[in-house]
Amino acid sequence: MNAAIIGATGLIGRLLLQKLIDSAAYNKILVFGRREATFAASLATEVIFISCQLSQLPTVTVGEKIDHAFCCLGTTIKQAGSQQAFIAVDKTAVIDFVQLCHASTNLVVTALGADAQSSTFYNRIKGETELALALASTLATNEQAKGAIAKLILFQPSLLLGERSQHRPLESLGQSVFNLVSPLFIGPLKRYQPISANSVASAMLTMALNPKKLYPVNSTNSTMAERQVIRVHNETML
């Protein structure tokens, strides 16, 4: 099998890339990005870095059949610099990557609260991205169709725990506060409990390699569910 990953220098992505390599499940792993990720190499897996700007994804050619496409892209409005720049990363590039890979299974990190109808900009863009990918999955009936998405698994973590390469002051403060009250997140509240980036990365690999042992489907949208869209929340990743 072959895999592709984008966002491999981020909090979840760099952990996931190493897990993909260590699993020895993939002959080749294509890593898309502006800068190379660091990892411990393995003789069993060939890692190929494809240097490109996110805006160049629609023009990139993939010469390998991709079985699993992992998308770990994500930024903040502050880091991006504007709402339009944020959309270019968290929506446009995500959609372009999935369409580029034409993989049989696509595993995408979004966010808890993603809702295309949300009044909150961040949640709305995440929701619009999910919706666009879900609509594209209707092409899955013909796996050879250009841009087809055979299976879409959306990971909606709450506050992520872990060491980022770029410091996010508010997120760091949130981690400290939520760590103190984390034991209170039980039952229905477990979905809002902080989760380690390592747990998310592990869940992504597990679901990619064990399609017949999927985590419980957490979707309230029957239309999306009919399109083979699976939403994974904290309680199924912890």
Alpha-carbon dihedral sign for residues 48, 52, 56, 57: positive
Q: Please identify which residue in the block is written with the tokens 């979905």.
A: 191
In whole angstroms, give the CA distance from residue 120 to residue 180: 27
24: pLDDT strictly greater than 80? yes
Q: What percent of the residues of the chain are helix, what percent strand, and what percent coil, each to the nearest 5?
A: 45, 15, 35
**Average pLDDT estimate for 117-122:** 96
**Average pLDDT estimate for 141-154:** 61
CA angle 119, 125, 129 (to 5 degrees): 135
Phi, psi of 66 (to 5 degrees): -100, 125
In whole angstroms, give the CA distance from residue 188 to residue 96: 34
Of the two residues 175 and 33, the one the predictor is more confident about is 33
Query: What does each C-alpha distance from 189 to 120, 160, 172, 179, 195 come to in angstroms?
Result: 21, 16, 21, 14, 13
120: pLDDT strictly greater than 60? yes
- pLDDT class for 237, splitting at 50, 70, 90? confident
164: pLDDT strictly greater than 50? yes
In whole angstroms, give the CA distance from residue 147 to residue 47: 24
Q: Which of 72-76, 161-165, 190-194 has the highest mean pLDDT?
A: 72-76
| pTM tops 0.95 | no
CATH numbers and ranges of domains, the chain: 2-236 (3.40.50.720)
In whole angstroms, give the CA distance from residue 140 to residue 109: 20
Report how far Cα 96 is from the mean position of its chain's Cα atoms: 13
